[in-house]
Amino acid sequence: MASLAESHRIVVKDDRFFFITSLIMAAIVVAGFSLMIVTGRSSFGSPPIVHAHAVVFMGWVVLYVTQNALVARGSIALHRRLGWIAAGWVVAMIVLGTVVTVRLVRLGHAPFFFPPALFLVLNPVTILTFAGLIVAAIVRRRQTEWHRRLNFSGMALLLGPAYGRLLPMPFLIPYAYEVDTLAVLILPVIGIVFDLRRNGTVHPAWWWGLAAIIGSTLLSEAITYSPLGTALYRVATEGSAGASIAPLAYPPFPLS
């Protein structure tokens, strides 16, 4: 009986941790993108494809919080049904994330704290890495500890653009991307600390999550600064305003 009570206590504690951290992740996203609107650096005058991208990616945040809330309240059947909708949602995220990235680069609107070629490469690599973590979580859906930690790592990886809007990115050049990645790693590291305090061990899913996040960063940089990165940039921007911009040069500050 004592063992069952202890197991129940651990499950409840886990549920609470993942639900609270899902709210923290959602708050980071809202804070980052709200700051852009408040400071006038973003508006609702963007093309429809950009709005569709925003709706789909924000929809994922809502799905993630909802899924953790359902688990915390014990609505497992609904959680599982909604999970299949989330799986399909990832496909839309891959398509729209890639399309919008290419569109911005072709317009010459890549963020000025990234070389345009890096921006072109890192977004698809990040989204595909996120999708890989979610697929792995789905495959491991019957192994709860794996499932929720892989999903957590995938969601943490998506926080990069939100952190990029909260951090002083212009002052971090030429290490803005690396600092942003360090920010992304904060919540998975908190997850590791949570495991250590809970039972003195770290679940291996966290190491896979960290490896995926760090690996996506290294892969993005390896592609960008290779002949392949330059070739991809030339193909993506052919016949557009972006073709006149050096792929590895930092664009000028907007105020200049």
- DSSP letter at 170 equals G
Residue 8 has pLDDT above 50, yes or no: no
Taken in order 226, 230, 236, 241, the sign of the CA dihedral is positive
Give the whole-angstrom CA distance, residue 100 versus residue 82: 27
Each residue of 199-249: pLDDT tens digit?
A: 899 999 999 999 999 999 999 999 999 999 999 999 999 999 999 999 999
**Out of 2-11, 104-113, 157-166, least confident range:** 2-11
Predicted confidence (pLDDT) at residue 172 exceeds the cutoff of 70:
yes
User: Alpha helices, DSSP H only, in the chain?
Assistant: 2-38, 48-72, 76-107, 116-139, 144-157, 160-166, 176-199, 204-224, 227-237
Distance CA 23, CA 217 (A): 25
Most confident of 9-13, 150-154, 250-254: 150-154
pLDDT confidence of residue 51 = 84
pLDDT at 7: 47
